[in-house]
Amino acid sequence: MSLRRGAGLALAGLPLLFLGFAFFLPLANVFLLGLREDGQWTLGYVRAVLAHPYVRHLLSFTALQAFLSTLLSFAFGFPFGWFLTRYGFPGKTVVRALTLAPFVLPPITVALGFYLFFGHTGYLNDVLRAIFGLKEPPLKILYSLWGVVLAHAFYNAPVFARFVHAAWAGLDPTWEEVGATLGVRRWRAFLSLTLPLLLPAIFSAAALVFVLCFLSFAIPLSLGGAQYATLEVGVYLYARVYLDFPRAATLGLVEFLLTLALTYFYVRGGGLFGGRQERIRPRASIPFLSRPAHLLWFPWLFLTLLVFAGPIAAVVADSLSRPLGGKAPGLGWYTLIFSPEQNPFIGTSPLGSIRTSLEVAGLAMALALFLGLATSGTLRLLRSRLLEALLMAPIAVSSVVLGLALLISLRGRPFAWLGEKGSLVLAHSLIFYPFVVRIVRPIWEGLPPSFVEAARTLGARRLRAFLTVELPLLFRPVLVAGAFVLALSLGEMTAAATLAQRDLVTVPLAIYRFLSARRFGAASAMATLLVLLTVGAVALWEWLGERTLHGHG
Amino acid sequence: MKKLLFVLVAATAGLAVARELVVYTYDSFVAWGPAKVIEEKFEAMFPGVDLIWVAVGDSSEMLSRLIAELKLGLRTADVFLGLADVELPRALAHGVFQPYAPEKIPNLADVSEELLFDKTGHVLPYDHGYVTFVYDAELLPEELVPRSLDDLLRPELRGKIVVEDPRTSSPGLSFLLWTIAHYGEGWPNFWRKLLPNLLVITKGWSEAYDLFLAGEVPIVLSYSTDTAYSYIEHGSLRYRVITPDGEAFRQIEGMGIVRGTKEVELAHAFLNLVLSVEVQELMPLTQWMFPVNRRAKLPAGYEYAVIPERPVSLELNLIGEKLEEWLSLWEGLLLGG
């Protein structure tokens, strides 16, 4: 038995070895820059950085805004996950895919969407002023802490919505039904039966969202104002302005240790509440609006629509209204980005960049799913919470540090043969596999052990037992995880900018090129295409998945 | 392996072995198109040579990437184009560039002497421009248009100005340096009073200009060629350049040969080409900057591009020495210090 477990561990350990070699070793090399000087170990940089009063200010603000942003993301995301689980309505696949749209938008486009929609002269204030006959803009959300928090919720509420949805859809509804027959009030049944089983997924999402907000950079500056800057500004300042890599690495290390400590706390917290289910029975959704009480959802749906669809719609409107050569453009910006001779030299045609982005995202998704599942499986065997937190590292490092680590790792010898596109695929799978782990792990833990044990008593080997028994039960979370990686890869910038040499132009890079050439309308048109592309790809992936799932019975 | 295959294919096709010249630059240089013209001309001059542009970020991103690559011993760029003059001391300290040989760059003779900002002979200028304020004539009443830096402090302009962050943006840094040059030791006082008038301090120029075009603010920190731009591109004079106190901060952009390149001759030929009259005449309408070649003519519509009476600049070595101190002081001001 222990021999078999050892063999299983060795097999599962291979992906870990690969992660160590391709990512953690180069990362350690970057951090060493901040810990060594002239061949000697030193804590001098760490002390100097931590003693800096401005760094301390950054630290407290960064933690505060990340905390508030996580709360607001939860407030928006959890009810939406509930809504998606409980109700069926036409176009649900597309709506679900749309929730991932914010993920792919570059911060610069989100800032534009927020200016145009929530700004003092934005659409929302214009409408409110017209309705109430006011002179001053009634809603002053932007250019304050709340602008930052709202924009972070815009980005991250989908994480809560999809994580909760994935976990909830897999919960056995029997207890809730029994409770209902016994006359237990609905909200009591929810609090005592459902919520505890959802807590691992909620903690998992919270860990991710907190880390993502902690490392945010452009949004706090551009929507909050310079008095609201995050630690990333410090890393940027050291690395890009002072060209002082040791101090940049030191601050990056401090950031990394903090996010990791918090991740560890969350992982533990999630583990405390993790319960196991005894069996699984699919949950039926109720048609939305089949009861008058459903109307109570409307105010909330309206608010959600305002916050999430508003800024995106503003960017779409911008792509259709930004003057082109002094005239109203109609579809002019779209024609421009697709016409070869008019097309500013973005290094490739827009269609070429779309193809590149899709290829990279598709391959990265496959690889990240493999890495994520293998890692989750290993963690299931090892049960080390410290290792679990540590394996989140790729999303817990500053983008400047990440860029340096990828430069060391993927531009160096062992991976040089991969070429630009291959190395970007690898990079994306290395950065995004933690999402797979975070979605799959809590649900895998919650699976009834009896199935696998039964299968193994019947003589199925570990791998076969996994493939035939557990994987089908994990199908839905794997589907969601794939969708996340797809969207994240389509919108990723740091690795693309680090690894691109000559031909590699992804859609977000093309957006930046249009912006830098003052072609704001073309940038908005390209961002609109990116949203459509993402929603299309995610909807197709989930639709195919659902079909396969129902094929399974 | 891929390279070997390529060489084999090239040899069988009867071609000379391909030589490459890799140039790092910032994305707008490629996006606006001068890169394409330069590439065509260069490859016509040197058949069999492939000119490769790598442009995946702004100037400071590309520079820090180049330095990291050089430290790792990766073979990267042969030429770097797009060094902001204020970055020179730090770039030289990292040994990014090797000196150029003036006799190999005949077009250097036409470059104005006062623009040769690198006295050590490593980096050459290829364009220059002026950072200053631009206002929206439809939103800002004439009497509120600032005519001096002090005018920016008027209480009527509360929340009506947007500037870029000096830590993350090149015009933002230019403005900070401008106030230091203008007010001397008193610059922190100016900033203390200015802060309430700033709606927000954005990460980069694009966000600031987005805010300005969306009508959120009537005054933005931008470039002195903006009126020429909106006139030439949109036939509009709505956005107007101001030069407070007759001043604006001068930016010179430079290029240099990366240390350790094997293509020294090609690199010199490239620098010479960028300084030629025909390439220099592309700068006004693509980079919206002024050419450095005295013989290059300015296009129609550039009568709206402003060269200030008193261009402001600071001694580069002083910037190199004091920048960190100034930025920390500035950060302190944000916290109310």
Q: Which of B58, B168, B200 sits opposite A225 (nearest CB)?
A: B200
Q: Which of B2, B31, B68 sits opposite A346 (nearest CB)?
A: B31
DSSP string of B6-25, one letter each residue: HHHHHHHTTPPPPEEEEEE-
Cα–Cα distances in Å, from A504 out to A484, A531, B18, B133?
22, 20, 21, 36
Query: What's the CA gap between B141 and B161, in Å, rounded?
Result: 14
Decide if A306 contacts A128 (C-beta within 8 A).
no
pLDDT of A346 reads 62
DSSP A35: T
Mean of pLDDT values over B208-216: 94
Cβ under 8 Å to B: A residues 420-479: none
Decide if B254 contacts B126 (C-beta within 8 A).
yes
Structure tokens at B325: 């101190």
Q: Is A413 on the interface with B (CB under 8 A)?
A: no
Mutate to test the interface with A, among B202, B227, B238, B335 (most CBs of A within 10 A): B202
Decide if B255 contacts B83 (C-beta within 8 A).
yes
Q: Is A221 on the interface with B (CB under 8 A)?
A: yes
Query: What's the CA gap between A103 and A490, in Å, rounded?
Result: 9
Contact between B327 and A520 using a beta-carbon 8 Å cutoff: no
DSSP A22: I
Q: Which of A54, A221, A501 sits opposite B168 (nearest CB)?
A: A221
Contact between A119 and B216 using a beta-carbon 8 Å cutoff: yes
Decide if A499 contacts A487 (C-beta within 8 A).
no
Question: What digits encode the pLDDT tens for the residues B154-200?
Answer: 999 999 999 999 999 999 999 999 999 999 999 999 999 999 999 99
Amino acid occupying residue A520 = F
Query: What's the CA gap between B50 and A176, in Å, rounded?
Result: 69
What residues contact A228, with CB distance under 8 A and at least 6 apart? A61, A65, A145, A148, A220, A221
pLDDT of A17 reads 87
Cα three-residue angle A393-A398-A404, rounded to 5 degrees: 90
Burial class (CB in 10 A: 0-12, 13-18, 19+), A531: buried
Quickly list H helices, B46-169.
Answer: 59-72, 88-93
CA distance to partner chain A, nearest, from residue B72 (Å): 7
Identify the three-state secondary structure at position B50. Answer: strand
Contact between A325 and B334 using a beta-carbon 8 Å cutoff: no
Mean of pLDDT values over B292-299: 97
What share of chain A has pLDDT > 90, as a percent? 42
What are B200's strand-pairing partners?
B162
pLDDT of B38 reads 95
Structure tokens at A156: 């991250």
Question: Could you tell me the pLDDT band of residue B5, with boundaries at 50, 70 and 90?
Answer: very low
Neighboring chain B residues of A142 at a CB cutoff of 8 Å: 200
More confident: B152 or A408 = B152
pLDDT of A528 reads 94
**Which of A78-82, A119-123, B26-30, B300-304 has the weakest average pLDDT?**
B26-30
Question: What digits encode the pLDDT tens for the residues A447-485?
Answer: 776 666 777 777 777 777 777 777 887 888 899 999 999
Decide if A513 contacts A344 (C-beta within 8 A).
yes
Decide if A262 contacts A206 (C-beta within 8 A).
no
Q: Is A342 on the interface with B (CB under 8 A)?
A: no
What residues contact A107, with CB distance under 8 A and at least 6 apart? A216, A217, A218, A219, A222
Neighboring chain B residues of A227 at a CB cutoff of 8 Å: 334-335
DSSP A283: P
What share of chain B has pLDDT > 90, as a percent? 84
What are B133's strand-pairing partners?
B221, B242
Look-up of token digits 């693309």: A496
Residue of chain A nearest B327, judged by CA positions: A237
Neighboring chain B residues of A216 at a CB cutoff of 8 Å: none
Neighboring chain A residues of B214 at a CB cutoff of 8 Å: 112, 115-116, 119, 121-122
Identify the three-state secondary structure at position B188. Answer: helix
pLDDT of A1 reads 45
Q: What is the mean pLDDT of chain A?
A: 86
Phi, psi values for residue B221, rounded to 5°: -85, 115
Structure tokens at A149: 């928090």
Whether residue B17 is predicted with pLDDT greater than 60 in this model: the reply is: no
Burial class (CB in 10 A: 0-12, 13-18, 19+), A31: buried
Query: What's the CA gap between A553 and A475, in Å, rounded?
Result: 12
Contact between B328 and A54 using a beta-carbon 8 Å cutoff: yes
Cα three-residue angle A13-A395-B60, rounded to 5 degrees: 125
Contact between A323 and B55 using a beta-carbon 8 Å cutoff: no
Decide if B97 contacts B256 (C-beta within 8 A).
yes
Amino acid occupying residue A160 = F
Cα three-residue angle A304-A533-A207, rounded to 5 degrees: 50
Residue of chain B nearest A26, judged by CA positions: B72
CA distance to partner chain A, nearest, from residue B103 (Å): 31
Cβ under 8 Å to B: A residues 129-168: 142-143
For chains A and B, count residue pairs whose Cβ atoms are closer than 8 Å: 165
pLDDT of A240 reads 87
Identify the three-state secondary structure at position B228. Answer: helix
Percentage helix, strand, coil for chain B under 3-state DSSP, each rounded to 5: 50, 20, 30
Q: Which of B52, B94, B203 sits opposite A243 (nearest CB)?
A: B94
Q: Please count the helices (runs of H) and the strands (runs of E) in chain A.
A: 30, 4
Q: Which of A143, A347, A408 sits opposite B199 (nearest CB)?
A: A143
Q: Is the dihedral of CA B254, B256, B258, B262 positive or negative?
A: positive
Q: Is A515 on the interface with B (CB under 8 A)?
A: yes
Quickly list H helices, chain B.
Answer: 2-12, 27-31, 34-45, 59-72, 88-93, 170-183, 187-194, 205-213, 226-234, 264-274, 277-280, 283-286, 316-334
Q: Which of B68, B93, B167 sits opposite A237 (nearest CB)?
A: B167
Residue of chain A nearest B332, judged by CA positions: A54
Decide if A238 contacts A30 (C-beta within 8 A).
no
Neighboring chain A residues of B27 at a CB cutoff of 8 Å: 509, 512-513, 516
Q: Is A123 on the interface with B (CB under 8 A)?
A: no
Query: What's the CA gap between A19 and A431, in Å, rounded?
Result: 10
Q: Nearest to residue B250, comparing CAs of B166, B170, B164, B147?
A: B170
Question: What digits encode the pLDDT tens for the residues B99-114?
Answer: 999 999 999 999 999 9
CA distance to partner chain A, nearest, from residue B166 (Å): 10
Contact between B68 and A512 using a beta-carbon 8 Å cutoff: no
Phi, psi values for residue B276, rounded to 5°: -70, 155
Cα three-residue angle B259-B114-A240, rounded to 5 degrees: 45
Report strand pairing: B290-291 vs B123-136.
antiparallel
Whether residue B70 is predicted with pLDDT greater than 70 in this model: the reply is: yes
Q: What is the mean pLDDT of chain B?
A: 92
Q: Nearest to residue A65, comparing CAs of A150, A149, A155, A153?
A: A149
Decide if B271 contacts B196 (C-beta within 8 A).
no
CA distance to partner chain A, nearest, from residue B177 (Å): 14
Whether residue B16 is predicted with pLDDT greater than 70 in this model: the reply is: no
Question: What does the H/E/C string look like for A57-115?
Answer: HHHHHHHHHHHHHHHHHHHHHHHHHHHHHHEECCCHHHHHHHCCHHHHCCHHHHHHHHH
**Which of A7-11, B73-77, B330-334 has the weakest average pLDDT?**
A7-11
Query: What's the CA gap between A254 and A262, in Å, rounded?
Result: 12
Question: What digits encode the pLDDT tens for the residues B263-294?
Answer: 999 999 999 999 999 999 999 999 999 999 99
Each of the 553 residues of chain A gets a pLDDT tens digit; together they read: 455 566 666 666 788 888 888 899 999 989 998 998 888 899 999 998 889 889 999 999 999 999 999 999 999 999 999 999 999 999 898 998 999 999 889 999 999 999 999 999 999 999 999 999 998 899 999 999 999 999 999 999 999 999 999 888 878 787 777 777 887 777 888 888 888 888 888 988 998 899 999 999 989 998 987 788 999 999 999 988 898 889 999 999 999 999 988 888 877 776 666 556 655 666 778 899 888 989 989 999 999 999 999 999 999 999 999 888 777 778 888 988 887 655 555 666 778 889 999 999 999 999 999 999 988 888 887 878 888 888 888 888 988 889 888 888 887 767 777 888 898 999 999 999 998 998 888 888 877 766 667 777 777 777 777 777 778 878 888 999 999 999 999 999 888 888 887 778 899 988 888 888 888 898 999 999 999 999 999 999 988 888 887 764 4
Cα-to-chain-centroid distance, residue A306: 21
More confident: A337 or B95 = B95
ipTM of this complex: 0.89
What share of chain B has pLDDT > 70, as a percent? 95
Contact between B56 and A500 using a beta-carbon 8 Å cutoff: yes
Q: Nearest to residue A345, comparing CAs of B55, B126, B81, B23?
A: B55
Q: Nearest to residue B100, comparing CAs of B262, B263, B267?
A: B267
pLDDT of A454 reads 72
